[in-house]
Structure formats: C-alpha cells, structure tokens
Amino acid sequence: MELQPADVARWLDISTSTVRVWSREFSDYLSDSAVGGDGKHRVYSTDDVQRMAFIRSLRKAGNSTADIRETLAKLAADGWEHLPPLPPAPPDVETGPPIPETVVKTQLAAREQVLLKEIGLKDTQIFDLSDRLQAEQDAHNETRAALADTREQLGEAHGKLSILPTYRTMLIAAAVVAAVLLAAVLFLALSGGA
C-alpha cells in the first residue's frame, strides 16, 4: 500500500508538516520512499505508518528527539519485533492490503530503471538533434558565404555596367565626329574639284 503524507497525517491525527519533519528527523528508521528528497514525492508504507504512530506516542509521552532515536535504534536492532501494533485507519484513508517494504523498493527500483532508459533515449535524441543542428548551421554558413560571393560578383558586374553608358556616349560622339569629318572631306573634295 502506498500512502501520501496527507493520508498518514489523517491516520495518525497529526499535521502533514509534522509528517514531513518526522520523515527527515527519523529518516534512518523509515523506508527510502518515505524520506523523499531530490524531487521525489514521499510515499509511505504501513511499516512507516506503524513507526510514525510509535514516534507520536513517544512524543506525547514527552520524549526528546534523541531519546526517540535511541528507542528506534533498539527496536530496529531487534527487527522491529516489539513495535506496538498499528492503530486502525480512519474510514477516509484507503489502506488496502499492506505492501511489504521490499515490494515497494522493488517497484521503485523497476521504475528507476524505466526512467533511466527514458533518460538514455532522451540523451540520444539530444545528441542526434545537436548533430542535425550543427549540420544545419554549417549549411547556413556555406549559404551565407556563397551569398556574400554572389553579392561581390554582382557589385563587380554593376561597376562594369555603369561604364557602358559612358562608352555609348563616347561611341556616339566618335560617330558624330567621324560624320562631321566625312562631311568636311566630302565638302572639300567636292569644292576643290569644281
């Protein structure tokens, strides 16, 4: 059975913040899933709830945190055999059949393996996308270089084309001068011959 902090709080008639504090203070005596941390959500087994119920009774009796840890260490050394029974769950807490801590650990380990595989796949996808991005950037840079070359060639061609009107004007002027000279030669030839 997997219980959330709010379930444990209702079961033991304590606040959820107390559940979280005890999960940190007495983490050595609770399941790994109950400790949480590193972005993991806390999930409690019935063993965790039984131990927290005992912690609650020791707190109500006025025991300090150090005294409670010492008592829990002794119980853990005896395999939790002398731990008082778990109080019945209130009707609003779904208990279902208890899930042994080893099953919870096995399920968490299996889930961790699935997540590690997913991370591996995502890493591969990131690597492939990085390669594709690099190839696209290289192609983009080649296109930019070709575009710069084309612009330079167009600039040179434009410079050559800008000279053409000047050549045209010079050709027209040369043709006019040649026509005038031809007319003068013809005039002289016709006037001298008459």
Q: Give the CATH number for residue 83.
A: 1.10.1660.10
Looking at residue 194, its pLDDT comes to: 53
Per the structure, how many domains does the chain have? Answer: 1
Domain limits for position 58: 5-99
Q: Which residue ranges in the chain fall short of pLDDT 70? A: 1, 37-39, 94-99, 193-194
- The reply to whether 23 falls in a domain is yes
- The reply to whether 10 falls in a domain is yes
- The reply to whether 109 falls in a domain is no
- The reply to whether 130 falls in a domain is no
- The reply to whether 92 falls in a domain is yes
Average pLDDT for the chain: 86
Q: What is the pTM of this model?
A: 0.49
- The reply to whether 41 falls in a domain is yes
Looking at residue 22, its pLDDT comes to: 94
- The reply to whether 154 falls in a domain is no
- The reply to whether 55 falls in a domain is yes
Looking at residue 1, its pLDDT comes to: 65
Q: Would you state the structure tokens that stand for residue 63, as one six-digit string?
A: 């025991």
